Amino acid sequence: MNTPAHAFINLLILSRNPDHGKTAIIVTGAIIPDLVLILFYAWHKWLGTEESQIWSIEYYRPLWQAGIDTLHSLPLIMLAMLVCWKTRKPVLLLLFTSMLLHSLGDFPLHHDDAHRHFFPFSEWRFVSPISYWDPAHYGNWASLLEIFTVLAASIFLYRRQALLRVWIITGLVVYGAYWIYVLLVWT
């Protein structure tokens, strides 16, 4: 799933009684698992690396994969959640819960670029028949479903919770800008 979509879905699931602090924690937790990916991409764009090389060679380098997989690791995230629950740290528990939802959302939507969701305890990757981006693995349909889900979540959250309206509008602007970039650079 594309990074901004995680924020909308996590807000839909986790924002029963929102305030700006909780909303910021949910959005932050939704983005954290992709931070290494964002830094990786920004680094290679700064270096002037060709798009094709970024995603066919550089993405698969062990150091980048270890960073990406650490932030998507279900056992590590659940361990952090357990520690937060035991030590009564509800804000951090919410952050890690949002991270867990991100990782669970990615699990069925990665084919060639699958994460090691049980890293560092296992090298296993679930190679899904569905990719969130690759047309050879239903990526066109997955992208349409993602866009529809984000729009539906936005409408629902906008109408249900006035406090989230600024977050939703800002998120939609970011999501729209992301898709414009995708269409200009990757198609």
- Residue 150: Cβ within 10 Å count: 23
Return the pLDDT at 185: 84
User: What is the number of alpha carbons within 13 Å of residue 54 lying toward its C-beta?
Assistant: 17
Rounded Cα gap, residues 175 and 142, in angstroms: 16
Q: State residue 162's pLDDT score.
A: 83
Q: Three-state SS for 19? A: coil
- pLDDT for the residue 160: 85
pLDDT at position 163 is 82
Q: What is the pLDDT of residue 75?
A: 98
- Cα–Cα separations (whole angstroms), residue 10 to 37, 60, 69, 95, 104: 19, 28, 20, 10, 11
pLDDT by residue for the chain (187 residues), tens digit each? 999 999 999 999 998 877 778 999 999 999 999 999 999 999 999 999 999 999 999 999 999 999 999 999 999 999 999 999 999 999 999 999 999 999 999 999 999 999 999 999 999 999 999 999 999 999 999 999 999 999 999 999 998 888 888 889 999 999 999 999 988 887 6
d(CA 26, CA 111) in angstroms, rounded, equals 27
CA separation for the pair 71, 126 (Å, rounded): 16
Query: Rounded to whole angstroms, how far apart are CA atoms 16 and 33?
Result: 23
Q: b/e for 46-69, b at 16 or more Cβ within 10 A?
A: eeeeeeeebbeebbeeeebbeebb
Rounded Cα distance, 14 and 77, in Å: 17
CB 2 within 8 A of CB 178: yes
- Which structural domain, as residue segments, surrounds residue 31? 3-185
In the numeric block, the tokens 């269409």 are attached to: 183
Residue 181 backbone phi and psi in degrees, to 5: -60, -45
Token digits of residue 150: 């984000």
Nearest to 3 by CA among 25, 33, 24, 45: 33
Total of domains in the chain:
1
pLDDT at 15: 87
